[in-house]
Structure 1
């Protein structure tokens, strides 16, 4: 079969691929094609509907500040929400972050946690996340909250993780804040952003719909082989396409299995890269039960690490008079840790224990899986990842996006990753 040809071939029509296509058109490329394995665009920002309820593929809210992102996102009418989150632990609700909001706990527990904080290590002795947490919060708070949560969210022990991903995602501990939050529930919001934005209609995907509408996307095109010497793509549907410029948003461990000319050292590094997979448990309710935008779950026997409400994000996401929640359960690797029926049963338990809903309030519980959730920052990962990325550059693959860069990128950062993948061609 003869091969078609394109100037710029982009693998994946998620936000990074769409960002790359947008930039390619800006700098004058006329023949820019995105090849998407699925039947719809958006990647992790896509959504699905069940009986009039819309659910995003995991929690998405925008706090983008970059002009390149805002000029796209702000084309879509949006709602704003304060970045207020709560946490559930053993029948109690605490504001986020928990170390600054211990007020609901019994006095003796607060005293013990604060004493442990005061006795925390004075110096950070080591380079792993567990040591960082103990240095920040003391053993009592660290063991009870973030170390426990790490096992649920990262499906990995805190001792195995590096600290390079933290940035402003974790609130550093301050004695004044901890003491204040132990005496009163009227605490300020310490989240890293004060405002969250979400489209009025169409789910989070509406923010990137202008990019989708402007792009040439070939759906049901799952790439199987990449010949970087001949610059030739072969797809599962039998189509072959040659390219001048190749942009990939594919996960690095998957990308390297498709190329025949990968050095053994690079292949070995790629094989060590780990990510979580994600079970989404989506629930529709027959009444307006949910008030929280999102919340974290510390109970170890409740499988979900966090949940959010599509109907709070926008009323357009649920039928009138109804509400919804979506729970996230993470596993290490692509193999599921839990059977679908166990996830549904556990979700019903969570709803009862947290006082959100009874079985009579539930219209449906839907379960579906995403093979990739988050990159796992196990210690030494960056050096191994960078070796794979360096090889990509030598063979002309411009790798971008959360799993193409193998990094902890939010949606705005993923867009910019794709947008900047063609910088050297400007």
Structure 2
């Protein structure tokens, strides 16, 4: 149906859901409109890109760089944020065996830390794997060793990967490495370090960032959606998704204990796939339900610490490879934006822990987590535990979709069934079970919005590399043309 007064139901108010809502309004015309109605279970929009706040301090749920070569995404960021979009320098390091390694690699820093003997062993190991590579590249370990050698893998990849995912790198699929590490290799890393050249996405030297954190982007987007006649319902949980044959007809939602049914002409979901499949009424075929049960996620919590003195380190973030502490990554929020802090004489530090929902770490009391984080900050030599004057704990379930040996077959099974629904798309990180960047989540939502107006994009196969490969880069005048088209 393409009448003038249609409704699109958007399940989830994170980057993908709100981008879909915003794009639906951009695409609407007087003779063909789709009014977006967004349902978000949390009290804040933004999903994992939201910005929490307490006592004037603002905290990310992990760090969120705004960097893309997709002009549609860049144009939307600039449309929404304008002068609130800052360009920030990137500085990050790796803590390993009691020393800090610059990241991206700086050749003299790396050699000084690791020593000439071990550096030679790394190069010999690299040469061995180049001459005798693993014939298979099915898992993370094989993929990394073929590009960096076994010795460097042992030093800088294995321990951190195990800490983040809680499973052996041999279980993680190689396509996760290919997606997250992109086109980096040891030879390219050394060349970058020697020449100061760098075109590898994960190692960019500066990025854009909203002055009040990534949540500012999504708070402003939600305001735009409502100002233009849409609706954003917070603290509203989706209980059921109703369908009649191959058409989705509406959803059951609950707000403040009151349950109601909302009808819609088109539905776009960013819910986690296992959750989504469990909401359908009538349910999907049994093999689809079984596939959803195989999907796994890694959960995340951050203990934010306010210190009685400014900036114990200058980095945006530090990766902690040491097995002696549980913390996996440490954020310095002032390095992202000075306006994340209410008092310039203090520091705001985010101690990030990767865990499983309801394990010992997840279930620990907030006070105990604060003591743990403060103690580990001191153990790493970054600040005294006694300098902590305040804290705030944020738990984030299903932060990262896991790429284990079962995930691809399960996702393919679910996707094949969802594609039979004629007025439904699923988008975003958890909606596609893809550990993607924010710009890819947004791009999937933009294509889903176009589908609602009659396009036929397969959002499951939007090229995750589109925004980084040279053949997809457009000249500056084309980027400006995209901005003009969107403004019109």
TM-score scaled by structure 2? 0.79
Q: 1:56 to 1:11 in 2, by over 3 A?
A: same
Matched, 1:244 2:256: no
Q: 1:34 — aligned with what?
A: 38
Query: Post-superposition shift, 1:283?
Result: 1.2
Q: 1:156 — aligned with what?
A: 167
Q: Tell me if structure 2 keeps the 8 A contact 1:72–1:207.
A: no
Cα-to-partner distance string for 1:128-178 (whole Å, 9 max, x where unaligned):
111112222222211121011111112221101111133463263334854
**Within-5 A mapping of 1:350-369:** 350-369=376-395
Three-state SS of the structure 2 residue aligned to 1:226 is strand
Matched, 1:113 2:122: yes
Three-state SS of the structure 2 residue aligned to 1:247 is strand
Q: Tell me if structure 1 keeps the 8 A contact 2:6–2:34.
A: no
Q: Aligned partners of 1:403 and 1:24: how far apart in 2?
A: 21
Q: Name which of 61, 66, 80 aligns with 2:65.
A: 61
Q: 1:321 — aligned with what?
A: 345
Q: 1:166 — aligned with what?
A: 177
Q: Aligned partners of 2:437 and 2:169: how far apart in 1?
A: 21
Q: 2:427 — aligned with what?
A: 400
Q: 2:252 — aligned with what?
A: 234
Q: 1:255 to 1:95 in 2, by over 3 A?
A: same
Range 335-344 or range 130-139, more displaced: 335-344
Three-state SS of the structure 2 residue aligned to 1:231 is strand
Cα-to-partner distance string for 1:356-397 (whole Å, 9 max, x where unaligned):
111232122322210111111113422320221221222343
Q: Name which of 437, 443, 455 aligns with 1:416.
A: 443
Query: Post-superposition shift, 1:221?
Result: 1.5
Q: 1:365 to 1:112 in 2, by over 3 A?
A: farther
Q: 2:49 — aligned with what?
A: 45
Q: Aligned partners of 1:176 and 1:422: how far apart in 2?
A: 38
In structure 2, runs of 5+ residues without a counterpart are: 226-230, 455-488
Query: Post-superposition shift, 1:189?
Result: 5.6
**Within-5 A mapping of 1:93-104:** 93-97=100-104, 101-104=110-113
Q: 1:263 — aligned with what?
A: 285
Range 168-177 or range 157-166, more displaced: 168-177
Q: Aligned partners of 1:168 and 1:266: how far apart in 2?
A: 26
Matched, 1:82 2:86: no
Q: How many residues are aligned here?
A: 417
Range 11-20 or range 25-34, more displaced: 25-34
RMSD (Å), alpha carbons: 2.5
Matched, 1:222 2:237: yes
In structure 1, runs of 5+ residues without a counterpart are: none
Q: Tell me if structure 1 keeps the 8 A contact 2:50–2:218.
A: no
Query: Post-superposition shift, 1:50?
Result: 2.1
Q: Aligned partners of 1:392 and 1:96: how far apart in 2?
A: 41
Q: 2:10 — aligned with what?
A: 10
Q: Aligned partners of 1:175 and 1:400: how far apart in 2?
A: 36
Range 127-136 or range 344-353, more displaced: 344-353
Q: Aligned partners of 1:167 and 1:392: how far apart in 2?
A: 26
Q: 2:467 — aligned with what?
A: none
Query: Post-superposition shift, 1:180?
Result: 9.4
Q: 1:307 to 1:150 in 2, by over 3 A?
A: same
Three-state SS of the structure 1 residue aligned to 2:241 is strand
Q: 1:102 to 1:373 in 2, by over 3 A?
A: farther
Q: Aligned partners of 1:24 and 1:177: how far apart in 2?
A: 42
Matched, 1:197 2:208: yes
Q: 2:483 — aligned with what?
A: none
Q: 2:396 — aligned with what?
A: 370
**Within-5 A mapping of 1:115-194:** 115-120=124-129, 122-126=132-136, 127-167=138-178, 169-170=180-181, 172-175=184-187, 178=190, 191-192=200-201, 193-194=204-205
Q: Tell me if structure 2 keeps the 8 A contact 1:99–1:141.
A: no
Query: Post-superposition shift, 1:243?
Result: 1.4
Q: Aligned partners of 1:423 and 1:166: how far apart in 2?
A: 30
Question: 1 or 2 for the larger relative contact order (CA 8 Å, sep ≥6)?
Answer: 1
Q: Aligned partners of 1:18 and 1:188: how far apart in 2?
A: 36
Q: Tell me if structure 2 keeps the 8 A contact 1:83–1:191.
A: no
Q: Tell me if structure 1 keeps the 8 A contact 2:295–2:406.
A: no
Q: 1:135 to 1:11 in 2, by over 3 A?
A: same
Three-state SS of the structure 2 residue aligned to 1:103 is helix
Q: 1:380 to 1:360 in 2, by over 3 A?
A: closer
Cα-to-partner distance string for 1:180-220 (whole Å, 9 max, x where unaligned):
96xx9x966675223211122x2112223332112210122
Range 293-302 or range 61-70, more displaced: 61-70
**Within-5 A mapping of 1:381-396:** 381-395=407-421, 396=423
Q: Tell me if structure 1 keeps the 8 A contact 2:11–2:269.
A: yes
Q: Tell me if structure 2 keeps the 8 A contact 1:162–1:380.
A: no
